């Protein structure tokens, strides 16, 4: 393995934080992080950076879970159920929309 002085310098500057968290809460957080493609440590670092940079607690990001009606609508679209017709271009779609008036 090649020596990388930049990587080593970044590693030296890093500090470790240890804290206790409820086991169930940790599992749910891990599931969320996996769902959005993050490691838990990355998510915590993002949180800490936002707090420091914005001087406030940020709670703007969420994993939205669609309700049953939305799930059904998505499935219908994926299966071409209830669609009026197909269009080969935006121009064709706009013509059909404008002709309905």
Per-residue pLDDT reduced to its tens digit, 11-26: 667 788 898 999 999 9
Separation CA 34–CA 40 (nearest Å): 8
What is the pLDDT confidence band of residue 79, given thresholds at 50, 70 and 90?
A: confident
* 73 and 60 within one domain: no
Clarify whether residues 74 and 61 are in a common domain: no
Better-scored residue on pLDDT, 27 or 16:
27
Average pLDDT over residues 61-80: 84
Say how many domains are in the chain. Answer: 2
Q: Which residues contact 35 (CB under 8 A, 6 or more apart)?
A: 63
Domain assignment of residue 12, yes or no: no
Give the integer Cα–Cα distance in Å for 63 and 36: 8
- The tokens for 34 are 């996996």
pTM equals: 0.47
**Rounded distance, CA 31 to CA 38, Å?**
10
| Residue 36, token pair as written in the block | 């959005």
Shared domain check, 60 and 25: yes
Based on the fold, state whether residues 24 and 55 are members of the same structural domain: yes
Same domain, 27 and 50: yes
60, 31: one domain: yes
Q: What is the pLDDT of residue 64?
A: 78
Quick check: 3 and 10 in contact, CB under 8 A? no
> What is the predicted pLDDT for the residue at 12?
64
* Percent above pLDDT 70 for the chain: 83
**75 has pLDDT over 60:** yes
Residue 101 predicted with pLDDT over 60: no
Residues 61 and 79 in one domain: no
Domain residues for the domain of 85 are 66-101
Both tokens of 86, joined, read 């197909």
6 inside domain? no
* Residue 8: inside a domain: no
Q: Where are the beta strands (DSSP E) in 21-74?
A: none
Asked which of 1-15, 32-46, 80-94 is least confident by mean pLDDT, the reply is 1-15
53: in domain: yes
Q: Which residue has the tokens 């950076």?
A: 49
């Amino acid at each position: 393995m090649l020596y990388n002085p930049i990587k080593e310098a970044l590693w030296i500057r890093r500090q470790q934080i240890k804290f206790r968290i409820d086991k169930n809460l940790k599992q749910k957080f891990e599931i969320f992080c996996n769902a959005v493609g993050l490691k838990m440590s990355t998510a915590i670092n993002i949180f800490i950076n936002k707090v420091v940079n914005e001087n406030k607690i940020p709670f703007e990001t969420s994993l939205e879970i669609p309700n049953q009606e939305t799930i059904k609508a998505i499935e219908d679209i994926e299966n071409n159920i209830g669609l009026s017709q197909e269009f080969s271009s935006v121009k064709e779609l706009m013509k059909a929309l404008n002709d309905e008036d």
